[in-house]
Amino acid sequence: MKTADFDFNLPADLIALRPAQQRDCSRLLVLHKGGEIEHRTFCDIVDYLDEGDLLILNDTKVLPARLIASKPSGGKVDLIIVKVGDNGACEILCRGGYEGPVYLGDGTAAIIYFEASHSGAEKKRYLKFGRPEAGGVGEILERCGLMPLPPYIKRRPDDNDRERYQTVYAEKGGSIAAPTAGLHFTERVLRALTEKGVHIRKLTLHVGQGTFKPITANLVRDHEMQSEYFEMPLSLLDDIGNTKKSGRKVITVGTTSTRALEGFLSGIYHKSGNGDGTVRGLTDIFIHPGYRFGAVDALLTNLHLPRSTPLMLSSAICGRETLLRAYEEAISMGYRFFSYGDAMLIL
């Protein structure tokens, strides 16, 4: 299968640059695996889940990981922290080749430098703070950081993004991007699902560069994902088993939840420890058409970039042609795409 098979034309005015006025009032395209399409509002998702169904959320929390620092010359350096390391050193993404001291808006000093990887094949760039604080890097980010909005949103993040580029159930800090399918949920919708008898459980996958790494290979199978950290309660496996035995559905919210769960079940992960009934690891699973799901019956997701790995994962649930036909209809009806866009429920 070719990467070009997952291309489509998207009008620029359908790319959502701001969230919907209310989280649960975004549009919801319901795609049945047979190809039938329904057009609803997100709060109507309650109508499609039944008593005994299992809904799995990703409770990762987005770090305000974007920093705009100043060079001694006065020039600006715009960077994103992608991995918080020890002793105040963090791996970063940053344009240009600058190395040297920088200063945050409150005067906090740091230095940018390159360091070769263990293999020596590539150099990574790091930011190291001069005097780590009691609260560590997290405290600096909370004070000086901005939300790391996707690069196609060409504006400075604001206070509204602090709230809206975060799920209402976010708990565990570690992501550089939001698990965007979850942005549509409100406490009202979660409460309505619980009252209906839907079981809601959580796992964690910290969204990193791997989810958004562009596919440059001509063939889908040649693309390599980067590993992302996940943790999951082992009791979730019992919940999945009981759900299956009762004939009910397992629904994952977002491609990140799907990758964490299927990465574990398929054994495509590197264990990094467990304890207290929790498994922890790194997964680089790449789900695309042809993959056989171990647990997931249905997927709630957003409308994704052409040629992207989330688009390919969504295609694996219902088939590439079925998904792209649904995208054609979504485009014709003015659905909003990408992180701040509308939702799709694949049943």
pLDDT at 133: 63
How confident is the prediction for the chain on average, in pLDDT? 94
pLDDT at 130: 79
Phi–psi pair at 192, nearest 5 degrees: -65, -40
pLDDT tens string 155-205: 999 999 999 999 999 999 999 999 999 999 999 999 999 999 999 999 999
What is d(CA 347, CA 326) in angstroms, rounded to the nearest whole number? 13
Please check whether residue 55 is in contact with residue 63, taking contact to mean a CB–CB distance below 8 angstroms: no
- pLDDT beyond 90 at 118: no
pLDDT at 7: 97
pLDDT tens string 51-81: 999 999 999 999 999 999 999 999 999 999 9
Reported as a pLDDT band with limits 50, 70 and 90, residue 83 is confident
Q: What three-state secondary structure class fits 267?
A: coil
- Any residues with CB less than 8 A from the CB of 92 and at least 6 apart, and which? 79, 80, 81, 82, 112, 125, 126, 127
Give domain limits for the chain.
3-62+162-346, 66-145
pLDDT at 212: 66
Residues facing 129 on adjacent strands? 110
- pLDDT beyond 80 at 321: yes
Average pLDDT over residues 105-133: 82
pLDDT at 234: 95
Reported as a pLDDT band with limits 50, 70 and 90, residue 312 is very high
pLDDT at 171: 97
pLDDT at 134: 56
pLDDT at 246: 98
pLDDT at 214: 80
Residues facing 317 on adjacent strands? none
Looking at the structure, give the CATH architecture of the domain made up of residues 3-62+162-346. 3-Layer(aba) Sandwich (3.40)
Average pLDDT over residues 33-54: 98
What is d(CA 273, CA 156) in angstroms, rounded to the nearest whole number? 38
Average pLDDT over residues 302-322: 97
Sheet holding 343-346, edge to edge: 37-41, 27-31, 343-346, 298-302, 250-253, 54-58, 199-205, 228-233, 278-283, 270-275
Average pLDDT over residues 6-30: 97
- Of residues 139 and 31, more confidence is placed in 31
pTM (two decimals): 0.94
pLDDT at 209: 76
Answer yes or no: same fold for 3-62+162-346 and 66-145: no
Average pLDDT over residues 218-222: 95
- pLDDT beyond 70 at 123: yes
- pLDDT beyond 60 at 219: yes
Q: What three-state secondary structure class fits 246?
A: coil
Identity of the amino acid at 3: T
Domain 66-145 has CATH 3.40.1280.10: no
- The fraction of the chain above a pLDDT of 70, given in percent, is 95
pLDDT at 135: 65
